[in-house]
Amino acid sequence: MFSVNKPVYILSSASVVGMEEADGPLGEHFEVTEKKDDTFGCNTWEKAENEMQRVALGMAMSGAGMREDKIDMLLAGDLLNQCIGSNYGLLSYDIPYIGLYGACSTAAEGLMLASMMCSGEGVKRCASVASSHNASSERQFRSPLEYGGQRSPTAQWTVTGAAAFITTSEKSDFDFFERKSKYVPRITAVSPGISLDSGVTDISNMGAAMAPAAADTLLRFFKDSAQKPKDMDLILTGDLGYEGTSILRDLMKSYGTDINAVHNDCGLMIYDRGRQDKHAGGSGCGCSAVVLSSYILKKLRDGKYKRILFVGTGALMSPMSLQQGMSIPGIAHLVQIEAEEV
């Protein structure tokens, strides 16, 4: 765990989502929602993902009242081979660009690195972006949607969504915001994950592959920070889904750290289980990115939450590594966010 002692704030954030996400319980909280067909006006799914990233960053910058030349670094990643979702999506921005690969943990990875950069010397402001698109992901990792393959009960639904965050160590940047909200989200500690392979080989059960990594990161964090789950208003994992969530809660309990009272998972929150047929819940880089950037950060800005842990979870395999008989390593990066009165 690293304390982020120099104050680093999440100045603004924005999310862009597809139709299914707009139709879910958090739909009203997203800034941009696709109404027609999830193509975002593009002729391929990959370009649609580019467009989501481009729009999300543009909106987050507008929200911060900030132009490109004020932002020192842009950290971004996605699930596509060679991270083309970010490489092309953010090409129009003249900001020094740091490509990340953290699978579905990318939103947390980006925020973690951004806060560490901003707390050092030199860098004042960072942007971080993460995305996934259901159609581009499914055809790359499993099979094209047109194939219509039957999904297993533990399978999750890759979220179509992108979110961008602007972090700053300059308190004066908030002059723009003081009129809007009493509290601002401040990143106070981070804990990078150690990758762990628990032997799961089922590409339709990513929750099981990621849950042990989430437990490992949480247990290390509670030990290092001398805090307990009850010190948090929320422990929010990225995309464990129903299967992974029950594994994580059981694992934590078996280690004597019960998180049930304060735990939730973005993959459980983004779709309505009864009405939307999404099996084990949402997943993908976009899942945790859009839930945090919208609904959760609003609750911090409103002072409803005082302190939360955001734990981005990722599965670090590829279709080829599975074909070669390897199991799925998981990783979980943790970011502690507190509401600070401005």
Q: Can you give the binding site for a copy of itself, defined by CB under 8 A?
A: 2-3, 5-6, 44, 46-47, 72-73, 77, 79-84, 87-88, 90-91, 94-103, 109, 113, 116-117, 119-123, 191-195, 197, 316-321, 324, 326, 329, 331
How far apart are CB 202 and a copy of itself at their closest, in Å? Answer: 17
According to DSSP, the residues that pair with 132 across neighbouring strands are 161
DSSP calls for 160-223:
-EEEEEEEES-GGGGGGTTTT-SEEEEEEEEEPPPPEE-----TT-HHHHHHHHHHHHHHHHHH
Q: Which is nearer to a copy of itself, 80 or 300 (CB)?
A: 80
Instruction: Give the nearest distance from C-beta 39 to a copy of itself in angstroms.
Output: 13
CB of 195 to a copy of itself, least distance (A): 5
- Continuous segment of H or E residues that includes residue 193: none
CB of 1 to a copy of itself, least distance (A): 9
Q: Residue 341 pairs with which residues in a beta bridge?
A: 183
Spatial CA neighbour of 221 closest among 112, 298, 138? 112
CA atoms 51, 283, 104, 321: torsion sign: negative
If the CB atoms of residues 245 and 313 are measured against a copy of itself, the closer one turns out to be: 313
84 or 262, CB closer to a copy of itself?
84
CA-CA distance, 158 to 301, in Å (whole number)?
28
Structure tokens, 330: 């998981």
C-beta of 26 vs 209, nearer to a copy of itself: 209
Signed CA dihedral, 66, 67, 68, 71: sign only: negative
In the complex with a copy of itself, the residue whose CB is nearer, 192 or 282, is 192
Closest approach of a copy of itself to the CB of residue 239, in Å: 16
